[in-house]
Amino acid sequence: MQRELTKAEVERLFVGAVDDSLDSSDAETFRQVLAGDADLKLQFEKYTGAVKALKELPREKAPPALASMILRRTKRRRSMFRSMAEHEASYRVPVEVIVPLLLAAVVAAFLLMAAR
Residue 2: which residues within 8 A CB-CB, separation 6 or more?
A: 25, 29
The DSSP annotation for 15-33 comes to: HHHHHT-S-HHHHHHHHHH
Among 86-90, 95-99, 101-105, top mean pLDDT goes to 101-105
pLDDT at position 18, please?
87
**Whether pLDDT at 75 is above 90:** no
- Does the model's pTM come out above 0.85? no
